[in-house]
Chain A
Amino acid sequence: MTGTYDNYDSDQEQSGQQTAYTVSAVADYLKVSLESDPRLADLTVIGEVSGYRNPSSGHHYFALRDDKSVIRCVMFKSGRGGQFLGDGTQVICHGRISIYTARGDLQYYVNSVEPDGIGALQQAFEEMRKRLESEGLFELDRKRALPELPSRIAVITSPTGAVIQDILNVLTRRYPLAEIILIPTSVQGEKAAPEIVQAFKALNALDDIDVAIVARGGGSLEDLWAFNEEIVARAIFSSNVPVISAIGHETDTTIADYVADRRAPTPSAAAEIVAPDLRDLSGYVSGYAARIDEIISRNIRDSRSQFEMAVDRMNLRVPDTAMPRQRIDDLLTRARLAGQRLVESSKQRLATVEASLNALGPEKILRRGYTITRTADGNAATSATQFVAGDKLGVTFSDGSVETTVDEITETGTKAESN
């Protein structure tokens, strides 16, 4: 016999006695028999996962069982939904039945896995939430305060897509003082959780990071699932710097949100929470400058009046006979002038410094002969095309403003004539 299945029937019938087949021949025959059954070639199975292993090859090995039977299963790394595999989880698999001839094992070759209904996912979520909570991962006591003026902000998210853009846009507008260190990761699918874990390891190895944001846009419970995984929760817990989480929409709360030091409702909100607004900082600076100005002005007024009082007291105490009155008056006048010069020179120095501060404000620019042109609704106009003849137009000078009407527009030129 040649060992091919075509020969089974004929060999046996012709010889009338039992033929010994090679192991390979039998295995091959079984393989072809199973694979030629269309029901086994396209099969959906529901069951509980047990004996789950995920070695470095990336393939998934497990068994599906119910209360009576067990089927060995494999899903290659190209399969979808591997993140839902775990001992004890109830899943729905899709694939085909065949034989792994090297071992003679009947195997279910799975190509996709889904959790058995959202109910099972939510149950898994609740169980893990309770377990990690009892371990103290969500303790309010360990939540760290965010830095006031962060210099280096790590952002752990997908390098493509709207989330990183939203974060960068907000920070460019509100807080361009920082360096953003993007640590790129997948944020959904089975690679996401291990990559996020690696990202936190990379974060902990970096120096001088002040705070981290871990973010993902909105999606279904399955899409967000990586942020409910225990390894991700522990990675966030192990971060050396405070972590702000922004996962999905405001209504989605993931395990990652519970562990993070601060939860933001959206990625944009995380970028607002992580640092103060430039305009507020500028306001503090101006406030301090005004306060210093006020103190020094009071100081100068006080010094001047103290000096004059002192001169007056000296005048009163001079005995009439000691010196000619004329000379005494001269001395006192000179003292008074010297005092005034001191005060004046202080005031002059102040004026110089104040001028340099004012140089930054728009008032200074206006005093140089520039004006601001406004449309009828009061907004600054940037183009002649914003007007048509007859429109109202406002012009702001450093010392006031003028309301006028547009007569003619010359678009190629740079001016819109007005009366």
Chain B
Amino acid sequence: MTDSPEKTDAKTAAKPAAKTFENSFSQLEEVVRKLETGGLSLDEATKLFESGMKLATKCNEILSNSELKITRLQANFAEQMNLVPDSDDDEDA
């Protein structure tokens, strides 16, 4: 079951954009939080500003350039999953 082809595909596929967006977006939130907390030197604040703006740019780029990915599981996925066949006896009729 662990080596079914669709599972391998899902694993080897590139990270969906949602993950990279979420990553950059949470870093951006962290930058905002640090700047709002204050107590930074001008140099520290400027560096944070720079990284924040870069993160914002990256976020917007991800949002503008992403495309929906569509993967379809094989119709015979049930067989690939080693499902136990019904054990009832066949009956002629």
Determine chain B's interface SS by DSSP, over half rule. Answer: helix
Give the interface residue-count category, chain A. Answer: 35 or more
Question: Considering residues A100, A168, A208, A289, which has the most beta carbons from chain B within 10 angstroms of its beta carbon?
Answer: A289
Assess whether A172 is interfacial by the CB under 8 Å rule.
Answer: yes
Give chain B residues whose Cβ lies under 8 Å from the Cβ of A168: 68, 70
User: In whole angstroms, how far apart are the Cα atoms of A349 and B56 in the complex?
Assistant: 16
Interface pick from A51-59, A82-90, A309-317? A51-59
User: In whole angstroms, how far apart are the Cα atoms of A178 and B10 in the complex?
Assistant: 12
Give the interface residue-count category, chain B. Answer: 35 or more
Give chain B residues whose Cβ lies under 8 Å from the Cβ of A356: 53-54, 57
Assess whether A292 is interfacial by the CB under 8 Å rule.
Answer: yes
Assess whether A360 is interfacial by the CB under 8 Å rule.
Answer: yes
With A168-B68, A285-B25 known, 15 other A-B pairs at CB within 8 A are A177-B17, A177-B62, A178-B17, A179-B10, A182-B70, A199-B77, A285-B60, A288-B29, A292-B31, A292-B32, A292-B49, A295-B35, A296-B46, A350-B49, A360-B64
Give chain B residues whose Cβ lies under 8 Å from the Cβ of A195: 78
B60, B62, B68: the one within 8 Å of A180 (CB): B68
Give chain A residues whose Cβ lies under 8 Å from the Cβ of B21: 149, 177, 281
Contact B93 A107 (CB under 8 A): yes
B4 to chain A, nearest CB (A): 7
- 14 pairs of residues in contact across A and B, judged by CB atoms under 8 Å: A53-B88, A59-B91, A74-B93, A168-B68, A179-B10, A179-B68, A181-B72, A202-B73, A292-B56, A295-B36, A295-B49, A350-B50, A353-B49, A360-B61
Assess whether A224 is interfacial by the CB under 8 Å rule.
Answer: no
A280 to chain B, nearest CB (A): 10
For the complex of A and B, 3 pairs with smallest distance between CB atoms: A55-B88, A56-B86, A177-B18
Give chain B residues whose Cβ lies under 8 Å from the Cβ of A53: 88, 91
- Contact residues of A with B, CB < 8 Å? 53-57, 59, 61, 74, 76, 100, 102, 107, 149-152, 159, 168, 171-172, 175-184, 195, 198-199, 201-202, 205-208, 278, 281-282, 284-286, 288-289, 291-293, 295-296, 299-300, 303, 342-343, 346, 349-350, 353-354, 356-357, 360
Contact B63 A282 (CB under 8 A): yes
Contact B42 A55 (CB under 8 A): no
Question: Considering residues A150, A172, A199, A285, which has the most beta carbons from chain B within 10 angstroms of its beta carbon?
Answer: A285
User: In whole angstroms, how far apart are the Cα atoms of A177 and B68 in the complex?
Assistant: 6
Contact A289 B53 (CB under 8 A): yes
Given A61-B91, A208-B10, check contact A181 B42 (CB 8 Å): no
Nearest A residue to B47 by beta-carbon distance?
Answer: A349
Contact B16 A178 (CB under 8 A): yes
Q: Mark B25-57, 1 if CB is under 8 A from A, else 0.
A: 100110110011000101101101110111011
Nearest A residue to B29 by beta-carbon distance?
Answer: A288
Contact A349 B11 (CB under 8 A): no
Contact A179 B50 (CB under 8 A): no
Give chain A residues whose Cβ lies under 8 Å from the Cβ of B16: 151-152, 177-179
Contact B49 A201 (CB under 8 A): no
Contact A176 B42 (CB under 8 A): no
Give chain A residues whose Cβ lies under 8 Å from the Cβ of B35: 291-292, 295-296
